[in-house]
Structure 1
Amino acid sequence: MRVLVVEDHEELAVTVAAGLRREGMAVDVALDGYAALDRTSATDYDVVVLDRDLPGLHGDDVCRSLSHGDRRARVLMLTAAGTIDDKVTGLGIGADDYLAKPFAFAELVARIRALGRRSGRALPPLLVHGDLRLDPSIRVATRNGRRLPLTPKEFAVLELLLSAGGAVVSAEQLLERGWDEYADPFTHTVKVTISRLRRKLGDPPLIETVPQAGYRI
């Protein structure tokens, strides 16, 4: 899942981003509203975690812009103002969910994942292919009943391939959805991750390389 955290308090933004990365998400950070719109125009995010009280371009204006555009990203608005009227206003300008500060990190993660499931094509709660099963909600993948010891990136790649339903997924798409802005598109990151994933999945092989196109289950 690709997430954008928009928060002008840099220390908080970095802390939240680091925590979400530990949860297996690909996370970018923007420190103001203008940077947020620049990033959302260039990257297809699943969820935008948006601080409402931003300097310069207010979070409300960012939310309105995103809600009026042709976007797939869901907006989770964060704010220190947590009254009912504030929530009604936030939802009324296009936010998909609303979380008051201070918040429990576990709740933030749960809300982001819930919004991520709504950001694109509806997926079943359990992704299954033969004896391979992947549960996105609890971040567990098994094959023939055996739990697979996957890293967050390996899990993300496997989830993307299973979600494609047999369609080919290019290396560029995997890099876009599974890594953040710091990933080098000219490295063999995806190829190496696919190789490790194949070893952990075992036999018979499940991931097919489609020459000049990408990979598919």
Structure 2
Amino acid sequence: MDKVSIAIDGPAGAGKSTIAKKIAEAKKILYIDTGAMYRAITLKLLNNNVSLKNNEVILETLESTGIEFKEGSIYLDGINVDQEIRRPEINKNVSEVAAIPCVRKVLVNIQRKIAENNSVIMDGRDIGTRVLPFAKYKFFLTASVDERAKRRYIELKKNGYEQSYEEVAEEISKRDKMDTERKLDPLRKAEDAILVDTTGKTIDEVIDTIIEKIDTI
């Protein structure tokens, strides 16, 4: 059977990861959370006190880093980091790390190789425009800043992190600005992507919308 690729892009808090993971389960294909990959690299750089301006050390760190997905979880150098990569300090730094050219080059190559060998659903900021420009199905998920901030605030609180809603909303707005204005592979909707506004919608409603499109295209 031919390999099928589904690209889901959108800003922070739009529901990409949750929705992509459930669609992967429904369609029995591999789910790749590219945002988690950038978060994992961010975690390692911060833990090793690597300056985000030192490209030489960043590249050396990348070359000695292992990232794997197992049963829906991400492993950094063999250790499950599902919870650690959701810490507030990762949220604050991941957009800057994701804008570093050598980081993007290495991770994009990994992501493409995975898609060459598997049917995948992949979510991120530039999947439909850069990573998998020839994906059969492309979607761009969005939601209001208020809605996305509420979702992220609830997620952080659930995981035991104390951060005010106002701080989360400001952080979301800053990430939007960084992601859309960065020079390399900025966040934007692919011309052939289907726009899905998740504001006010439940996860199941969004999933039904996307699966219906996949089954009818």
TM-score (norm 2): 0.31
If you compute each CA radius of gyration, which structure gives the higher value, 1 or 2?
1
TM-score (norm 1): 0.31
Which protein has greater RCO, CA pairs closer than 8 Å, 6+ apart? 2
- Which structure is higher in helix share? 2
- Which structure is higher in strand share? 1
